[in-house]
């Protein structure tokens, strides 16, 4: 019998981790896990704030671009040169000449002239839901596509004959349009197209007959204001938006504040609120300062906001601020202000 004892090595005693080593390992793993979790939560929070900021920036940019585009064309009468020295005749239109005789009108909600504006305005939502103390802008201008007269009008009551076979469908019955030869202009309501040829436009008698080559434009009246959408966020706070002619166009806009740059006789510019623009001064407005306060609909801020948001002619302060002209709630939303100064390129002189 062969003995194997000479080939066997003595076995070493095996031991596990001590209690202290185990506790240290658990502590280290916990710290690492907490670090990773903290980084994840911070990253998630940063991502939420970044997304909210991106939405606010986009809303503010779109809202300013919309208004600036219309303001730059304010008072346009269809001619290439600005500052025309004639005023359109409104006798054939459905518009109030006194109210629509200039390219721009502004008013502060519940301020001077507010009742007159509401009486002349067809959208009831503005009087019901417009934010008190914010501004309303109303802009009037000619707008294409334009049609060209292909023959002289015999007199002011003659059918307008154009170079387009889409005239009847392009210009709808009841809408207001503008005809001009760049020496004079009439704003008129489009009449009943029944029995007309496709390139004709019916109307009430104009102030004069217009020659071949005169052009016809749509005459747009565009109004902007901020109102309550009727929707609430998850906390039950109201959501506001910028409205254009009664239609919600940009959500999250809480305030619209405007200052009007009136050109003085000595050439100086003074910026004032709508309440301080005399009726005779609207055609002396050469620039408009726009200010928006825009918020996101999501709550992303854990600490209550305490900023004063400064807009043209007004500061919006935290709720509860004594003597504040306007306030915002402590709702954790991200807010940002946007401002722009727009130079007026067209004007209807009186």
Q: What is the pLDDT of residues 145-175, one digit of tens each?
A: 899 999 999 999 999 999 999 888 899 999 9
Q: Which of 219, 250, 285 is the last residue of a domain?
A: 219
Q: Is residue 19 part of a domain?
A: no
Q: Are residues 266 and 191 in the same domain?
A: no
Residues 255/226, Cβ–Cβ less than 8 Å: yes
DSSP string spanning 321-347? -TT-SEEE--S-EEEEEEEEEEE----
Q: How far apart are CA 70 and CA 106, in angstroms?
A: 14
Q: How far apart are CA 349 and CA 84, in angstroms?
A: 7
Q: Are residues 100 and 116 in the same domain?
A: no
pLDDT of residue 31 exceeding 60, the answer is yes
Q: Are residues 96 and 163 in the same domain?
A: yes
Q: Is residue 34 part of a domain?
A: no
Structure confidence at residue 105 as a pLDDT band (50, 70, 90): confident
Predicted local confidence at residue 162, as pLDDT:
95
Q: Are residues 227 and 189 in the same domain?
A: no
What is the percent of the chain where pLDDT is above 70? Answer: 84
Q: Are residues 212 and 332 in the same domain?
A: no
Q: Are residues 123 and 146 in the same domain?
A: no
What is the percent of the chain where pLDDT is above 90? Answer: 40
Q: Is residue 152 part of a domain?
A: yes
298 versus 226: which is more confidently predicted? 226
Q: Are residues 230 and 177 in the same domain?
A: no
Tens-place pLDDT, residues 236-277: 889 999 999 889 999 999 999 999 999 888 888 899 999 898
Q: Is residue 79 part of a domain?
A: no
11 DSSP 8-state letter: P
Q: Are residues 156 and 231 in the same domain?
A: no
Q: Is residue 4 part of a domain?
A: no
Give the count of domains, the chain: 2
Q: Which residues pair with 310 in a beta bridge?
A: 315
Q: Is residue 174 part of a domain?
A: yes
Q: Are residues 264 and 125 in the same domain?
A: yes
Question: Which residues constitute the domain of residue 203?
Answer: 89-104+141-219
Q: Are residues 131 and 240 in the same domain?
A: yes
Q: How far apart are CA 111 and CA 288, in angstroms?
A: 19
Q: What share of the chain is helix, strand, coil (3-state, %, to 5)?
A: 25, 35, 40
Place of tokens 């003995």: 3
Residues 204/92, Cβ–Cβ less than 8 Å: yes
Q: Which of 198, 219, 240 is the last residue of a domain?
A: 219
Q: Are residues 270 and 192 in the same domain?
A: no
Q: Is residue 53 part of a domain?
A: yes
Q: Are residues 333 and 201 in the same domain?
A: no
Tens-place pLDDT, residues 206-236: 999 999 999 999 988 888 999 999 999 888 8
pTM for the complete prediction? 0.79
20 versus 268: which is more confidently predicted? 268
What contacts 327, CB < 8 A, 6 or more positions away?
316, 317, 318, 319, 320, 321
Q: Is residue 42 part of a domain?
A: no
């Amino acid at each position: 019998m062969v003995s194997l004892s000479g080939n066997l090595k003595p076995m070493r005693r095996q031991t596990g981790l001590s209690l202290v080593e185990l506790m240290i390992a658990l502590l280290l793993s916990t710290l690492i896990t907490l670090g990773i979790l903290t980084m994840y939560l911070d990253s998630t929070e940063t991502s939420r704030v970044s997304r909210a900021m991106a939405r606010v920036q986009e809303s503010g940019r779109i809202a300013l671009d919309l208004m600036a585009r219309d303001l730059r064309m304010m008072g346009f009468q269809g001619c290439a040169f600005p500052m025309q020295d004639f005023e359109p005749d409104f006798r054939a239109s459905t518009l109030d000449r006194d109210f629509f005789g200039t390219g721009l009108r502004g008013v502060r909600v519940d301020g001077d002239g507010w009742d007159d504006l509401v009486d002349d305005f067809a959208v009831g939502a503005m009087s019901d839901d417009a934010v008190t103390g914010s501004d309303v802008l109303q802009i009037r201008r000619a707008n294409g596509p334009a049609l060209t007269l292909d023959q002289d009008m015999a007199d002011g009551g003659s059918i307008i004959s154009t170079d387009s076979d889409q005239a009847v469908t392009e210009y709808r019955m009841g809408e207001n349009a503008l005809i001009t030869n760049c020496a004079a202009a009439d704003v008129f309501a489009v009449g009943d197209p029944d029995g007309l040829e496709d390139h004709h436009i019916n109307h009430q008698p104009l102030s004069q007959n217009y020659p071949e080559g005169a052009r016809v434009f749509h005459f747009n009246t565009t109004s902007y204001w901020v109102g309550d959408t009727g929707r609430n966020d998850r906390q039950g706070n109201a959501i506001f938006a910028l409205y254009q002619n009664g239609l919600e166009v940009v959500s999250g806009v809480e305030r619209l504040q405007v200052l009007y740059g009136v050109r003085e006789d000595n050439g100086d510019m003074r910026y004032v609120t709508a309440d301080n623009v005399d009726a005779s001064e609207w055609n002396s407005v050469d620039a408009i300062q726009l200010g928006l306060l825009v918020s996101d609909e999501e709550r992303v801020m854990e600490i209550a906001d305490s900023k004063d948001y400064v807009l043209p002619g007004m500061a919006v302060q935290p709720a509860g601020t004594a003597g504040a002209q306007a306030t915002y709630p402590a709702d954790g939303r991200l807010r940002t202000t946007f401002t722009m100064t727009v130079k007026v390129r067209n004007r209807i002189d009186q």
